[in-house]
Each structure stands twice: as structure tokens, then as C-alpha cells.
Homo-oligomer: A and B are copies of this chain.
Amino acid sequence: MASFKGQAEYSVDSKGRVAIPARMRNALNPEANNSFTITRGFEQCILLFPLDEWAKREAEIARLNTYRSEARGFVRTIMRWADEVTLDGQGRIVVPKSLIAFAGLEDAVLIIGVLDRIEIWDPGVFAAQAEQEADYSDVAERIFEMGRDM
């Protein structure tokens, strides 16, 4: 699995292009074919999954029973926001307009490597979100008490 880490503050140009940090580009498997599935996160941010990583997730989603209305709505929501993007010669991707609007992107973006995915945030949105979250060390205690996760 690709292991992304670190953060960077880059710009979005007038064509909706965002450069992916070289460090993260180099972490891609050849099977990803320089491409990502881009989609929305649960929070107000954009997620990038390398193509090979996304394939696993999609296989899970496809197994859901679409004769159940709740599952149908869920699959619809996930796939609606998803799109495939490929790095251009300069290591950039074009972010779909709907996702730029969803994430509230303007000139600058915060790019964060999070294990199997890359997250793209508007810096302002991220700051507001981080503020709301409980204290980092408190959360850590709670998560690790459960023993198994992370």
C-alpha cells in the first residue's frame, strides 16, 4: 500500500489545477498508473485514492445489495462525487468543479498525506474544523484504549 505522509500548502490555478507534492507522487505504485479516484470525504474535504487502492474499495461497494433503498442511496452518493483524474506532465491534477465548490477551495489548498489517501482542504475550512475537534491527546487516549484500531 502507498503510504502518504506530510503536508504542503499549494495553489489552485484558474483552471482548477492542483499540483501533487513530488514526495507523494513518488509514493505511488506503478499500478496506479499516475491516476487517482478523486471524491469527497465525510468532512468538507477532497480525497484522492491511487487507482489501485480505489479498486479495492469499489469492489466492496459493488457488493452492497442495491435492492435495499438505504444502500442504494449510499452507493449513489459515493459514486456521484467520484471521478478519475490523471497527473499531467507537470504532476498536477484537475479538480472537478463540483468538488472545488464542495470543499470551498479558492486560491490556496492544504494537501495532507494520510496513509492510503491524500486529502485536499481549503486552509480556512481546515483551521475551523481542527478547532472544533477535541484535544489531540485526549482523542489519542480514547482511540488507543479500544486497543485494536489504528
**Known A-B contacts A62-B115, A114-B79; A84 and B5 likewise in contact (beta carbons under 8 Å):** yes
Which residue of chain B has the shortest Cβ distance to A42 in the bound complex?
B137
Contact bitstring A55-84, B, C-beta under 8 A = 1, else 0: 001101110100001111111110111111
Question: How far apart are A53's CB and chain B's nearest CB, in angstroms?
Answer: 11
**Is B58 in contact with A3, judged by CB distance below 8 angstroms?**
yes
Question: How far apart are A76's CB and chain B's nearest CB, in angstroms?
Answer: 5
A-B contact pairs, 7 of them (CB 8 A): A5-B79, A6-B83, A42-B137, A61-B115, A64-B143, A75-B115, A76-B114
**Is B84 in contact with A69, judged by CB distance below 8 angstroms?**
no
With a CB–CB cut-off of 8 A, which chain B residues contact A64? 143
With a CB–CB cut-off of 8 A, which chain B residues contact A60? 144
A14 at the interface (CB under 8 A from B): no
A47 at the interface (CB under 8 A from B): yes
Q: Which residues of A contact B (CB under 8 A)?
A: 1, 3-7, 23, 37, 41-43, 47, 57-58, 60-62, 64, 69-77, 79-84, 96, 98, 112-117, 119, 130, 133-134, 136-137, 139-140, 142-144, 148-150
**Is A79 in contact with B113, judged by CB distance below 8 angstroms?**
yes
Question: How far apart are A141's CB and chain B's nearest CB, in angstroms?
Answer: 9
Which residue of chain B has the shortest Cβ distance to A67 in the bound complex?
B42
**Is B6 in contact with A82, judged by CB distance below 8 angstroms?**
yes
